[in-house]
Structure 1
């Protein structure tokens, strides 16, 4: 929700100054939202941010006026200091107040009654001196360089330098795995004694074949006339 809006009559004609004023209004709106939510911690943080951004703006603005030799620099500087003192007092009251309603009203009234009037009257009084002196361009370049250095510093904080990796620890050799227990072999069975070979059966004794007897001539056979007879037949013995 926006309670404070930027209007064209707040433009000073100096881009950096206008941008810083818009940033202050952004913090004021954040503070108002935190007050509506009754978030005291958030209100304290936003008010602290508003104080810091206002201090940075006043330093830049006073440097411009000093470079441009603005004759009303010192009265302007005192006005800045009074406004910072008001913001600091509001921040201290916020820490002790039980409710946040009163502090929100005090801040909005202070900003509406002082900041906008200061921009419309006091700040526009030095813009002609700054523009005529030509110091703005150099101040702007310095501001850009300062912002770049700040961003680099924040980047280095956000991204720390890589730490050297620790040296790898020597790998300890793993112990050799224990051999799996061998299954005990079953006790050897005694070898069976070989059965004695059966004794060879004796070969049957050869039976004496009867000697063939010479065939006897039948007694009734009549001798042939040509067979030898008597001593000539060879059947006689001495």
Structure 2
């Protein structure tokens, strides 16, 4: 994005990079049948080091801004206008992506097949579906979305690149999925809860509230997890084949 002057190209590159790295995870877990938790942790550590290596030349450099989204008179609506119609295009694309994924999983044949593979890969294989291929494509889609999230942090939220700037937000994304019981709308609520508390603690720090900075910094993580634990009453929402390796000979 810095070299081309196009932040949208930066987002595209991040999505491709995330998909490629997730393809390595798919190879380890779906082809070599390695432990998924260990493989994910190893790739996380690899990604931290690899991003630090690639990002050295971009430390402190401000990326180009995204073009403004013009909503016309909608932006001038009292109260609601600034809240709903004053954000960057990536935020609205993210909301649209949540709706598209939910609708795809619920109403399309491809979504039904994906859910079937997640629920019982043996039954899906018996019906003739290519379980490993379907899982690999799903993993690559998740990796691409993770890449977009990382690009959003460095291109819009900060906006600049520094080593370790994600500050564990990726683990919060994982916690959101688990504690939201795999329900898209609850997941979206948890994400906005975390984002809202994060912004609130930054505002409190700026206002000089007499609370130690360390407590304010940890509050988004603690409060989000506590609330989602309370909400996650559905214990059977996780796909039955989650974390289980598959081999056609099983």
Same fold judged by TM-score > 0.5?
A: no
Select the structure with the greater relative contact order (CA < 8 A; seq sep ≥ 6). 2
Higher helix share: 2
**Which TM class, normalised by the smaller chain length?**
under 0.3
Instruction: Give the TM-score of the pair, scaled to structure 2.
Output: 0.26
TM-score, normalised to structure 1, is 0.27
